[in-house]
Amino acid sequence: MIDRKDVEHVARLTRLALTEPELERMRVELNSILAHLDTLRAVPTEGIEPTSHAVDIVNVMREDEVEPCLPQDAALANAPDPSGDFFRVPRIIEE
Amino acid sequence: MSPAATPYETVIGLEVHAQLSTRSKMFCGCPTTFGARPNTQTCPVCLGLPGVLPVVNRRAVEFGIRTALAFGCRVNEACRFARKHYYYPDMPKNYQISQYEEPLAEDGFLEIDIEGGARSIGIQRLHLEEDVGKLLHEGTLETAQASLVDFNRSGVALMETVSRPELSSPEEAAAYLRAFRAVLVFLGVCDGNMEEGSLRCDANVSIRPRGSAKLGTKVEIKNLNSFRNVQRALEFEVRRQAQALDAGERIAQETRLWEAERGYTRSMRSKEFAHDYRYFPEPDLVPLQIDRRWVEEIRAGLPELPRAWRQRVVAQYGLPPYDAEVLTQSRALVDYYEAALREWAPASGTAADRPKVLSNWIMSELLRVLPGDDEQAVRGSPIPPRHLVGLLRLIENSTISGKIAKDVFQKMFDSGQDAPTIVERDGLTQVADEGALGQVIDSVMAANSKAIEDYRRGKKEAKGALVGQVMKATRGKANPALVNRLLEDKLSQT
């Protein structure tokens, strides 16, 4: 079971500012998702290797070759606050 | 601080991040050139734009395996990538693709040479991941209201290697990092340039009462980006922890930042939540199954490693271990030394002292004008090995003196010309003509009757002063051995 404290913790980790009603809604929704996982857990999986993928493919790799980059103005095009050559972001407070 | 001076023993583990020398990034084809104009080496993948797919760089995996083999690690048959989640503006996806439960390799060791012998330090794991962007603060750190982000570094292939907590002093930690760097540079998987951040180090350090089996509370120190800083930061931290324990305080488990200019570590409180990374397998990348034949191919191509090279030249040429250590600061320097030695002292008829003469000249002259740990600078030396040997031959056959040779060396470095050309052009050939030298000696003796008197009264050092005068009169070109002999003859005659 996910309680309010779990939701607050996850919201904080994902930098989401949730209102009281949103916190409550998330608690209910996350619990229903977990309940669905319980359904999946009921499937017998003994003797089956765990996997992280639905497709049976391994070793997809590329050669170490340089490809064209984005022009700088395109890279910065969607930045909310570009500054010269850079993306500009609010100062991070360390202490 | 000598270990015996405190009632505590120190336990240190190092995490080293090395940028791999691949041409393109870990998961996209952007170039990895250092120093490019900000935000000109990016693409949708390394900018973390939605809907993109990363693809693993095969060369990065190869470099990881090569390093793993050099450290005697087990290369796992199956490995996969994972997402490590945290928020920081240098990382646009808000997760870093790394490896967690199934790293590329585990369980190796690195041998370090320290005062009093060698030690083998365990390596716990080695994994691949991607680098993050670079943050610059507008104005000073204290007054900045904003940070500027350059994503050129975002996505560059990184290899993280975690040692076991088996280092027992700051000196050992620095020795480990030096040895680690040398191996990577020899393998050609990393340029080892610490100033440019190609090699970065974090340390975990704790202290415990001597003889205690239980580990103390561990503190992580970040930002240790030179050998000197590793040692200084750890020395500071060990002292800080000892003082805290002495005062009856508890050590907080925390991350601290080394402030190199100010010489202390400080707590980074914002990282409180940072250890809840919520790793899960990266759904955008399929697992790797490392082919054993590939591993064996890579193993077969491993070069001689720095430690083995040092042991060989010490045994084979009688080179002092110190010289061997200096020479292994880069692959290029070792290659330089070997090329010069091949040129000068082919297998047959080797003059016994040549290996040492050569290392002396490299250490005292070449490394005075070139940074020996800079592969490119050494490879592009204006004095190639052949030219250095040409100079040493002129000393060996008494054409020029060692003193003149140093001037010639500088001229060679400045002009790129070889020694015979410069000696010929500037008329620097030693005066080895007995008649001509005899005349110079006569006039020096005539002008220094007091020194001669002193000499005859038994003050043998007086001869040195006379030799000096002769050298001065010939502007350093006189053959010193000949001057000594002639002078002795004349002093004993009169």
Virtual CA dihedral for B421, B426, B431, B433, nearest 10 degrees? 80
Cα–Cα nearest to A11, from B134, A2, B470, B170 = A2
Minimal Cα–Cα distance from A51 to chain B, Å? 9
Query: pLDDT tier at B16 (50, 70, 90 boundaries)?
Result: very high
Determine the average pLDDT of the residues in A44-49: 88
Minimal Cα–Cα distance from A84 to chain B, Å? 9
Chain A CB contacts of B24 under 8 Å are 64-67
Inter-chain touch A70–B43, beta carbons under 8 Å: yes
Task: Give the model confidence (pLDDT) of B303-345 as tens digits.
Answer: 999 999 999 999 998 999 999 999 998 899 999 999 999 988 7
DSSP string, chain A: ---HHHHHHHHHHTT----HHHHHHHHHHHHHHHHHHHHHHTS--TT----S-SS-----EE-S-------HHHHHTT-SSEETTEEEEEPPP--
Minimal Cα–Cα distance from B77 to chain A, Å? 12
Tell whether the model's pLDDT for residue B58 goes beyond 80: yes
Structural domains in chain B plus CATH codes: 3-296 (no CATH), 313-426 (no CATH), 434-493 (1.10.10.410)
How far apart are alpha carbons B67 and B108 in whole angstroms?
10
Determine the average pLDDT of the residues in A60-85: 96
Predicted pLDDT at B226 = 87
Q: Which of A8-22, B96-110, B119-133, B257-271 has the lowest mean pLDDT?
A: B257-271
Predicted pLDDT at B348 = 47
Task: Give the model confidence (pLDDT) of B411-426 as tens digits.
Answer: 999 999 999 999 888 8
Cα–Cα nearest to B192, from B143, B216, B238, B227 = B227
**What is the arrangement of strands in the sheet containing A86-90, beginning at the earlier edge strand?**
A82-83, A86-90, B146-150, B134-137
**ipTM field:** 0.90
End-to-end CA distance of chain A: 34
Q: Does domain A1-44 fall into CATH 1.10.20.60?
A: yes
Query: pLDDT tier at B350 (50, 70, 90 boundaries)?
Result: low
Predicted pLDDT at B69 = 97
Asked if residues B188 and B331 have their Cβ atoms less than 8 Å apart, the reply is yes
Tell whether the model's pLDDT for residue A95 goes beyond 50: no
Task: Give the model confidence (pLDDT) of B130-188 as tens digits.
Answer: 999 999 877 666 677 889 999 999 999 999 999 999 999 999 999 999 999 999 999 99
More confident residue, B440 or A75: A75
Give, in degrees to the nearest 5, the angle at Cα B278 between B273 and B280: 165
Tell whether the model's pLDDT for residue B62 goes beyond 50: yes
Average pLDDT, chain B: 90
How far apart are alpha carbons B344 and B351 in whole angstroms?
9
Instruction: Please tell me whether residue B441 adopts helix, strand or coil conformation.
Output: helix
Query: pLDDT tier at B257 (50, 70, 90 boundaries)?
Result: confident
More confident residue, A65 or B394: A65
Predicted pLDDT at B479 = 79
Q: Which of B89-93, B271-275, B328-332 has the lowest mean pLDDT?
A: B271-275
Tell whether the model's pLDDT for residue B399 goes beyond 90: no
More confident residue, B152 or A95: B152
Cα–Cα nearest to B381, from B339, B353, B420 = B339
Domain ranges of chain A: 1-44
Looking at the partner chain, which of B43, B47, B148 has a beta carbon nearest the beta carbon of A88? B148
More confident residue, B163 or B3: B163
How far apart are alpha carbons B483 and B494 in whole angstroms?
17
Inter-chain touch B38–A13, beta carbons under 8 Å: no
> Which A-chain residues 6-65 have CB contacts (< 8 A) with chain B?
9, 12-15, 52-53, 55, 57-65
Q: Which of A19-28, B72-81, B397-406 has the lowest mean pLDDT?
A: B397-406
Tell me, yes or no, if A88 comes closer than 8 A to chain B by beta carbon: yes
Phi and psi dihedrals of B107, rounded to 5?
60, 70
Query: Strand B95-98 vs strand B105-114: parallel, antiparallel, or unpaired?
Result: unpaired
Tell whether the model's pLDDT for residue B1 goes beyond 70: no
Tell me, yes or no, if A92 comes closer than 8 A to chain B by beta carbon: yes
